[in-house]
Structure formats: structure tokens, C-alpha cells
Structure 1
């Protein structure tokens, strides 16, 4: 039986669901993503509690850029991030760019220029630590591409676009072209990508088979198995593969991405 990797989730946010990890789906490995500095400890605690089922990730999400700029998130965050990733054998995530989301308190979009600086700093850190990165990107794919194709930005060994929301053409014309293609992975979730199945099928087809990943992107472990099954079946159906063979392929891809 192939393991199923949930390469991007937030189950650290729902401690009431942790009993599921004790009792169900022994073949599922979870990659919970720290996002906001305040939840990094929860991700680390989850790894300590379930060392055989958790590959932790720590990062600063663009939705928290204002706390970085204001100093609410302390200036020592980069040092702490490096220490957590190293100490817990983790990866970088979730970080990235977002030109659509708004601060619910002000109804204003999150400032974009500081997002760029924050992402570049975290990509450099992942490069130094030689760990992969899980990236959030909404309506900012050209800007993301500009960063990772600049030739001046230090990059992680592997980069995953999580719950990919761009077009199929962007994948083939930008991210899976030339030398960048060796570094890139793309993940899909039922929660996000299930909203437009025709587009998602086209995107799945645009990703090389050995660079496909799946995730739940959920914060409650009680619902992850069903969510993963849904997206795995979508990948299998799109490529005319059996579910069993698809699980083997995805497990192999996940191991290659994580380097574990």
C-alpha cells in the first residue's frame, strides 16, 4: 500500500481533531503549514506528538505581512524560523504572494511590495537550509515567476505551487519551461480546485506526471481523508489511471518533493 501524502494542510488549527491521527488512515502522512508566527509552536507540537505522521512546515503567509511591517511579529522571526525548520527537520511553508485577499479589519488589500520582500527573504532561507517550499499565489503568478526566474534570487531546491489557481498556459509557458521545470511541483486540492473541474483537469494535464501532488488544504483532520480521496480520484480519472497506480505515483512524487 502506498502512503498518501497530504502535502499542504493546516490541521494544527484544530486540536480537537487530533484523535483521528491516533486511530485512522495509518497510510496518511500530513504536512501542516505554519503561516503566522503564532502557530509555529502548534506545528512543532504536532510533530512531537505524531513524529511518524507529520512533516512540519514553517513560514510567514502574505496575509500577515502587516504584522511583520508593524513589528507585531518580532524582527527575530527569521532566526526563529531557521531554528524551527532545522530542529524539526521541516520545510518552508506557507509563504507567497496575494494580490486579491483583503484585510477583514480594513477591507484593504494587503500591501504588495512588502510581500515581495518577505517572500524573497524566505526563499533565500530555504535555499540556505536546502529545504523545499510550499507557495501560496493568488493573482500574482507573473510577479512570482519574475522572482524565481530572475537569476539573482537564491531558490529552494524544490518549489510547490499549492492549490494552483492559475491557467494551464502559465504552467506550460512559464513554470515548466527550461531549467525551472526541474525545480517545480504543483499540488491540487478538492477544497480549492474543486470549484472549477474543467479548468482543474486542464491544469492537471499541463503538469508533468512526476511533478503532480495532492493536498487537502484543510484545518480539520477529520475531513482530510475524504478530501484527499476526491482529488486523487480526479487525478486518476484525468489521466486514465487506476486509483492504486495514481497513489503510487503521487507517493513517489511527494517523497521526491519533500526529500524524505
Structure 2
């Protein structure tokens, strides 16, 4: 099995080297490690340097941290993208679920990152939660780059169509294997197969207990990815091998490191 974790936060684990070894043993061939702000971009950079054949770095300012941005956040972000030309932009986005910071504070930070990704012809990973119409409004001001990923997508089948028409890709996380999230699984049946990715969002988005192959005191272990893939394949009524092969091909196409 050659599976790719298209979104995690490996930098938040105490011993990333141990986690990477366990991921490799489980059949995970690589992962995208997403920075979320000025406080962790350097940790992501160190992992990319330490595991150049395994870690695909992404640098972004998360909407939950929009109010914490320093005056130099943008040039600092650009410096990491200069240092890692094959990196992607993310995790960034809009979140209407949290009370603060308000969408009015999140929006300009998000728009600048969308513009940056488009200007540099880089893929961007987007966090969108209870902010779908604000997201479409944002895209009217700053059109997204040709490839953008809705990570841990929790929207409807109708949203899949609207977003796919704009160039969206969609990644599935194990949290949505919970029985009460059946509507999300139904939405993923509408995702074009060549736009489908899988992720752990580790150490967050814990899957149901029966899909935890690697218990971990720190939360969701990214080596749970193959179990999550098995759960999604079952629900999409396709062979696991087919899902893994398709999402691996999609992962490489989305996060293309061969040049832009």
C-alpha cells in the first residue's frame, strides 16, 4: 500500500521521527505537513529538511490565528515559500464556527494568502467551516489558484458541485466515519474521483475507535491513515486498493513537486 496523508500537523508531536517511522511501517509514503502561523512555520521547515523524501511542507496562517498575525507575517510567509519552492500555501481559510476572531478579521488575511498562492502558481489548502457563502464571496475578490484543496471537507453534495466548478479538490478525514456524519460521506460520493484525497489532520479529527490502528496519547496518529482509507472505501463501495491508488495519484498531481 502506498498511501499519502494529504493534511496533517506532524510538527505538533513530541517525537516526529518516531511518528514518521510508524507511518512508513503502516504503508504511508508521505504527508503534507501544514503550518498554521508564525509560531510553527520553522518547525514545519525543520521537518521538511529532516525528511525531504517524506514531508511536503505547507505554510499558512490559520483563521483561528488571524488576530495574532504580526506586522511582518506576510514577508515571513513569503520567505518560507522562497526557501521551499515546492511548498504549498496552507492552512488558511475562513471559520464561522468560532466566536473569535471574527470573519472580518479572518477575511483580509485569507485573501492575501489566496492571492499569494495564485501569484506564485502554488496549490493552497483551505480550512472552511460554517463559512461557505463568505468563501464564495472571497473568491469573487481574489480568484483562487487553479488547484485548491478543501481539507477535511464537511459540506454538502451541492457544495461539491459549486466548488469543483471553481477548481476545488476535497480531502476526507477519519472523523467523518462516525455514524452521525453520514451526510458528509454522501457528499463525498459526489466528489469527482480525480479530485479526491485522504488525510488524518493528525493529531486532530480522531476517527471512531474501530478505525484507530495506532493508539496515541497525543491524539490521532497519522499512521491511522490506511484504516481511514479502508473505512472510506467501504462507504464509497470501491476496493481499498482502487481508492489508495487513485488518491495517491491525485495527491501527486495536486502537490506536484516537479516544477510549476
| Alignment size in residue pairs | 240
Aligned partner of residue 15 in structure 2, secondary structure: helix
RMSD of aligned Cα (Å): 1.9
Q: Say whether the 8 Å CA contact 2:60–2:92 is kept in structure 1.
A: yes
Query: CA offsets, 1:145-188, max 9 Å, x none?
Result: 2222x2x424223111111122222212x2123xx1xx210011
Tell me how far 1:195 sits from its aligned partner. Answer: 6.1
Match of 2:46 in 1: 45
1:207 aligns with 2:191: yes
Q: Distance in 1 between matches of 2:92 and 2:98?
A: 14
1:166 aligns with 2:155: yes
Structure 1 portions without partners, runs of 5+: 103-108
Q: Distance in 1 between matches of 2:112 and 2:187?
A: 29
Q: Distance in 1 between matches of 2:3 and 2:157?
A: 25
The within-5 A match list for 1:63-142 is 63-68=64-69, 73=70, 75-88=71-84, 89-102=86-99, 109-142=100-133
Tell me how far 1:221 sits from its aligned partner. Answer: 9.1
Aligned partner of residue 56 in structure 1, secondary structure: strand
Tell me how far 1:190 sits from its aligned partner. Answer: 0.7
1:11 aligns with 2:2: no
TM-score normalized by the length of structure 2: 0.86
Q: Distance in 2 between matches of 1:124 and 1:190?
A: 30
The within-5 A match list for 1:144-223 is 144-148=135-139, 150=140, 152-172=141-161, 174-177=162-165, 180=166, 183-191=167-175, 194=178, 196-219=180-203, 223=221
Query: CA offsets, 1:41-95, max 9 Å, x none?
Result: 0000001111100000000011112112xxxx2x221111112123122111100
Tell me how far 1:203 sits from its aligned partner. Answer: 1.2
Tell me how far 1:235 sits from its aligned partner. Answer: 2.8
